[in-house]
Each structure stands twice: as structure tokens, then as C-alpha cells.
Chain A
Amino acid sequence: MKIIDPHIHMSSRTTDDYENMRKAGVVAVIEPAFWLGQPRTEVGSFKDYYSSLVGWERFRASQFGIKHYCTMGLNSKEANNEPLAEQVMELLPLYACKEGVVGIGEIGYDDQTKAEDKFFRLQLELAKELGLPVQVHTPHRDKKAGTIKSMDVCEEHGIPPHLVIIDHNNEETAKSVLDRGFWAGFTIYPKTKMGNERMVEVVRKFGAERIMVNSSADWGMSDPLAVPKTAKLMLDRGIPKEHVELVCYQNALDAFGQSGQFNENDWLKAETADQTQKYNGNSVLRGQVPQNLEQDNESDIIIK
């Protein structure tokens, strides 16, 4: 089964993760711009981060046969440093219309401060201007109210729900998000967000329409295989295959495909991840013999 992980921070992950993801069927990922754990204090740090999302990380993914896309935005935590946030807002339009940028994200609320609200709204306007989908991060604390507020503000700015992916949902928020016509992302993240057994029950209860699963794997204790593992668990526990395909692949494709930058042919037509291919050179794998990813190789112990 083909898998899309529509929310994963690959910049924090290793090449082993890429390799395992590819083996588990992941064909495409979306990396939302987020914070790095350590707050940035200069606008140049944002610039280099955004450049790496469309440059180095995209290349790194291609080495393993995975297509890498991103959403561009100023995250809510760092929106609180207002003078810096102003400068970042100047920078964003430069990146938002690049190839493979499939939305504005992840944006929204964290502490639900005034500054967060201001920059959330400014970025909604940017998304509107460019006709891009919006990927909304909902807060950990005061989640339910924060989620509802996020949707209210999107509507207030005239962004239709079919262009908005409300992320990090749980059993408590799912109903109102789906009832109002938004896409609902569910993050399978050990301990703090959702477990995948709960996810199986969510799909059993709400069906598969407009629901998508992601890992949000980052620099924390997270699992880059969360989506393929959840797909398998759903199948094992009797969720129909069509539904599993919707929540682990097709819905993400439909939602972010509205950007015009997320096209199935990008990976269906691409050949296998032949690492000797002209534009997918082997500098990450410096000194290694290129390996065909379709084969399992048992000789990993020998270091040549």
C-alpha cells in the first residue's frame, strides 16, 4: 500500500528513517515549517531553515525514493517574538510560491496570545492571496477551545473549510472539525497525542471521509513509521481497505493537491529510487555502493 505522511519534520530525522519509511511504503511526505526546539533569534536562521526545506531536505529525501514537499509558515510559538516575527513575514512570500510548497503551515495557536492571533491572521491572508491550503497546528493546552477558535478565525477570513487542514485532533475535537467541513489530521505521537489503537476506533466511529493520519515525527520521542504502522493495525482490526487508503494516502493527496503542487505522477511516474540517477547523485551516501531499494540487502554488517 502506498502511504503519504502529510506532517513529518524530516530535518530532524536520520537517513535510516528515510530508508525504513521507503520500505514501509511511504512515497511522499509533507514537512511543515515549524520550530526547532531551540528558539531562533535572527531572521537569517529562518531564511536558512526555509531554504533547507526546499533545498537540502528535498534532495536528501529523493536519495531514498521519497518525494518531499513542505508547507511554509511562521509557527505559533515563535510568533510571540513580535519584532522578529515581523521580519519573518517579509520573508515568507519569497518561499510560498516555490515549487513543491503545498500550503501555508503549520500555523495557528500555541498559548493563544495576541501576537499568535495577529500572525495567524496575517498568514491566512497570505494563503488566501496565493490560493494555497492551510495546515493548522492546534494547541496542546486548552485544545478544544483553541481548535474551535482556529476554525472561527479561518471562516472569518473567508477561507473555505475545504482548503484548511486542522491538525492534531483527538476524540474530543474530531466531531466539530468534521461537521464544519474541515479536513481533520490525526497525529500518532507516542504518549502526548494519539495512540494508533485509538485511531482505529476514530475511523470506525467517524468513517474515512476528510480524515488523515500523520506522524509529526520530529526531534522528540516520535515514530516516523507511525502512518504505515497505523495502516497495518487498521487492516488487522477490520477497517475496510478502501478506508485505510483514504486516511493514509488519498485524503492527504486531495487536500494538499489543491495547491497544484502535489501531484501523484511525481512519484508514480518516477522510477525506482536509483541512487545513481543523474540528478539524484550519491553525495549523501558518500563512498557507499548505491543500493537498489527494491531489494533487501543482508550484507549491512560489512563496512566497505
Chain B
Amino acid sequence: MRLSTVIYHLLSEHLSDDASEWLNAKMALLEKGKEKDLFFSFSSAPRMVGKKTLTISAEQTKVLKMLGTGIEWQHLTVDTISRWLMLVSYPSHDESHYHAVLSKLFSTADMEEQIALYKALPLLPHPHKFRFQATEGIRSNIKGVFEAVALDNPFPQQQMDESAWNQLVLKAFFIGSPLYRIKGLDERANSALARMLVDFAHERWAAGRSVNPELWRLVGPFLDLKVFEDLYKLYHSHNSDDRIAAALACAQSTLPEARQLLEKDMKLCDAIERGKLNWDIFSRQLYAEEFEELQP
């Protein structure tokens, strides 16, 4: 089934008659490939279709999974999905024309539009054309825009070269985004990134600041004896998050010293080996706790 058809059906049950009529008229216009029509319908989407959150049935989730986009379809709003529909329906057979039109859309976008555009990256035809645009999103000073590229989005994993990828991960640490929501985090771990992250941890410690324990997830596979000293200290710290993070990182390493350290606490070691504790579970808990602290 075509992507646009699936999206259209997903959307249609959430639209009022007026909104539906408006969208249909716009879709007919868009097929003609006039950029102005795309610009206008794209920017007026929220005022025409509203901003309700989409509810997605189990059946629909299955269909969406089959599309293989790697996108998280939960928590999306009607205006965002309408905008995606416009993007994938606009004629794209001429690669450079399509890219030029979308670049204009990116460069004139408001905050919510930028977020919708960056989240749509994995859906766009000719994805390789948008590699530079994705790095622009990573450079954004607006956290929501950065996270639209970096979190729950398969595009960086699929399209970014190593240096762009590493900047994405580093920046996520700098601005406090939850790392476990970066797709392909483990697959794209690399020794250059591990080295930068260890340096970053040392800088934080020197300044008397704490280090997000998720950092060690990307260091574990590249452990050497020097970095192991950091983990050893971490393991023996009073902070239980740090201690668990050190153990999880040790479990990723083939270093015999790391193994020994891990086995010091058989209960913890056992939980990790039986999959009861892993980085994702750990991170989710970490951010859930942080979230609870914020509640009044």
C-alpha cells in the first residue's frame, strides 16, 4: 500500500467535514506541483484541521509497521500528519526540484513547522538529498527542533556520516535529551565518539558537575584499561545510577578486568545477563524518576 494512502486513512477519521473538504481540495491542487500551493496549505494546516492528538488502533499500528518507515506514530497530532501527507503527495519525480521546494519550506518554517518537517525526514522521497538539512536541524538552538531530528527518528542512523552522527549524540548530552530515544544508538557506537564522551565526562567532573550515566552505554564497547579506571570509580560511587551504569558498561566489554568488576555483585550481574536489566530499561527508569520529581 502507498504511504500517502495509509496516512490519508489514518487521518480521515479524525477530521471534521469542513477540514476533510479543505484537505481534499488542497491535495487535488498539490498534485499539479505548484510550490505556492504547498506553502499555503502547509502553513495553514493547524488552523484548518486542528491540533488534536491522533489515536491509533492496534490494527493500524500493524499496517504502519509494515510500511517500514521506522517512525513512532504515537502522540502525533492531526496537523502534523496532514503536513506529512502534503509532503509525500507533492510531485517528487524531479529530484532536484523536489529538494529545492522543500528547502524553501524548511527555511521559512515556524517552530512547529520545523518540528513537523524534521520528523518527516524518514518519509521523504530522495532521502540522501536531505542529509545537510538534517545537520542544520541538529545545529538548531531550539530543543524541540533538535529533538525532532535526534529522537525517535531513524533518519540520522540511516543517512548521517560518522562525524555528523557523533555531533548529534554529543549535543544530546549537552542539552539533556534522553539518549535511549536516539535510534541506532548501539549500532552506530564508535571509538571516536567514545573518546569524545570520556573527555566530556572528565570536563564535567573537573567542573564539579554530574555526568548523565547514559554516557557509559557508548563507552562500554570500547573500554581500555585507562577508561576502565573511570568505571571502577563510578562503580564504587554512592550514586546507585552511576553504579548500575558502570555495571552495564562492563557487561558490554570483553576486558577481563571489566568482567571481574561486574561479577563483584552477582545479583546485579545476573539481572543483566538474564536481560532483566539493560540500558533501555535503565534509561526509561532514569527519566521516569526525573519526570516524577518535576510533578508538583
Contact = CB atoms under 8 A, between A and B. Distances in A.
Interface of A: 47, 50-51, 54-56, 58-59, 93-95, 97-100, 260-261, 274, 276, 278-284, 286
A249 B176 CA distance: 36
A279 B47 contact: no
A279 to B, nearest CB: 4
A76 B291 CA distance: 49
B185 to A, nearest CB: 19
Interface stretch (B5-13, B107-115, B255-263, B272-280): B107-115
Contact of B143 (A94, A261, A280): A280
B107 A51 contact: yes
B294 interface: yes
Given A55-B142, A56-B142, A282 B110 contact: no
Contacts of B108: 47, 50-51, 94-95
B147 A281 contact: yes
A93 to B, nearest CB: 7
Contacts of B174: 286
Chain B interface SS verdict (over half): helix
A59 B142 contact: yes
27 contacts: A47-B108, A54-B111, A55-B110, A55-B114, A55-B142, A56-B141, A56-B142, A58-B111, A59-B111, A59-B141, A95-B108, A97-B43, A98-B110, A99-B110, A261-B47, A274-B294, A279-B143, A279-B144, A280-B144, A281-B146, A281-B175, A281-B176, A282-B143, A282-B176, A283-B141, A284-B141, A286-B174
A58 B143 contact: no
B44 interface: yes
Contacts of B141: 56, 59, 283-284
Given A98-B43, A281-B175, A282-B175, 16 more contacts: A47-B108, A54-B111, A55-B114, A55-B142, A58-B110, A93-B40, A94-B40, A95-B108, A97-B40, A97-B47, A99-B46, A278-B144, A280-B144, A281-B147, A283-B143, A283-B175
Contacts of A59: 111, 141-142, 144
Interface string B121-159: 000000000000000000001111011000000000000
B39 interface: yes
A274 B294 CA distance: 9
B143 A100 contact: no
Given A276-B294, A281-B147, A98 B142 contact: no
B147 A94 contact: no
Nearest to A51: B108
A281 B178 CA distance: 12
Contact of A281 (B39, B112, B114, B143): B143
Interface in B38-53: 39-40, 43-44, 46-47
A51 B294 contact: no
B110 A54 contact: yes
A280 B111 CA distance: 11
Contacts of B142: 55-56, 59, 281, 283
B37 to A, nearest CB: 12
A276 B295 CA distance: 11
A100 B44 CA distance: 11
Contacts of B47: 97, 99, 260-261
A92 B296 CA distance: 43
Contacts of B39: 94
Contacts of A47: 107-108
